[in-house]
Structure 1
Amino acid sequence: MKIRILTIGQKMPAWVITGVDDYLKRIQPFVQTQFVELPMAKRGKNDSDADILKYCQIEGEAILNAMKGNEILIALEVNGREFSTEKLAETMQSWMLDGQDIVLAIGGPDGLSQEIKRAAAWHWSLSKLTLPHPLVRVMLIEQLYRAMTINHNHPYHRA
């Protein structure tokens, strides 16, 4: 099993790069994990709703084009299912047993396109709160790492 995180947007602040890199190093012994940054569609100052839809579609196409044939798509979105860390660990254990390669999609500032939402096997919400995209990256990789430590009886997670 491999996990790829396809995320819209580049040029993250230093604290994001530091946090993501730290957890990426930690998680590798448990599961091969990779971030793939895809370019955000160029936006204007006074964009219409139609413009925003177009940007989401462009970014959605980039995500779909970056996927490999054997990967299962999971969309990260506010209206998705919420999991406890323990339930995430159980879910990841299932992915590993099934040998499924997973893609987690983080959309741009306007969210994910309808094409991504339809293509996703399931939808996951880290929180019902609106979170800044840079923070989502750090939270996501930390929770994936935490779930893997639960599955490997590592002392990082203390309930």
Structure 2
Amino acid sequence: MRLRLICVGQKMPDWVSAGYNDYARRMPPELPLELTEIPMAHRGKNPDISRLMQRESDAILSAAGTRDRVVALEVGGRPWSTEKLASQLENWQQDGRDVAFLVGGPDGLADACRQRADQQWSLSPLTLPHPLVRILLAEQLYRAWTITRNHPYHRA
């Protein structure tokens, strides 16, 4: 089983790549964390945002496997505690399918992504910068895994 972050945006600052890679490297071989970057549609003067979001959505959904369990990161999604995420992770591992986490661009995810999602998860009621979401998500997935293994990393 793989955990896959499918994110809109490329060419992140070094601190984003370093933060994400630090946690991705900590994941065990049987539960790799992989990143797929989707090019952000160009937003010029007076862009048609819905069309740009649809283009990004098409690319996101193409990157997600047809059998993947899909989790859309949405500010309006359900909030999960770290312990709830650990429980979800155990359930996903028992299911055996890859899990694709969808992270939209500056305008969010198009309806098609939300409709394809098996679950919608909110990391926070705050609006978070998309580069930071990569690091937060990677850290929380690592933390959830450590909880399932009684590793001392998580100290509630």
TM-score band, normalised by the shorter chain? over 0.9
Q: How many residues align?
A: 156
Q: Report what 2:32 is aligned to.
A: 32
Q: CA RMSD, aligned part only?
A: 1.0
CA–CA separation in structure 2 for the residues paired with 1:122 and 1:112: 14
Question: What per-residue deviation string (whole Å, max 9, x for no partner) do you get for residues 88-145 of structure 1?
Answer: 0001001001112100000010000011111111100000001000111100000000
TM-score by length of 2: 0.97
CA–CA separation in structure 2 for the residues paired with 1:126 and 1:55: 24
SS at 2:77 equivalent: strand
Q: Report what 1:126 is aligned to.
A: 123
Code of the aligned partner of 1:31: L
Question: What per-residue deviation string (whole Å, max 9, x for no partner) do you get for residues 12-32 of structure 1?
Answer: 011101100100001134611
Q: Report what 1:52 is aligned to.
A: 49
Question: What per-residue deviation string (whole Å, max 9, x for no partner) do you get for residues 56-109 of structure 1?
Answer: 100000011112222111100100000000010001001001112100000010
Unmatched tracts of structure 1, length 5 or more? none
Matched-pair contact (CA < 8 Å) for 1:6–1:105: yes
Unmatched tracts of structure 2, length 5 or more? none
CA–CA separation in structure 2 for the residues paired with 1:131 and 1:76: 11
Matched-pair contact (CA < 8 Å) for 1:30–1:148: no
Is 1:9 the counterpart of 2:6? The answer is no
CA–CA separation in structure 2 for the residues paired with 1:16 and 1:63: 20
Code of the aligned partner of 2:90: Q
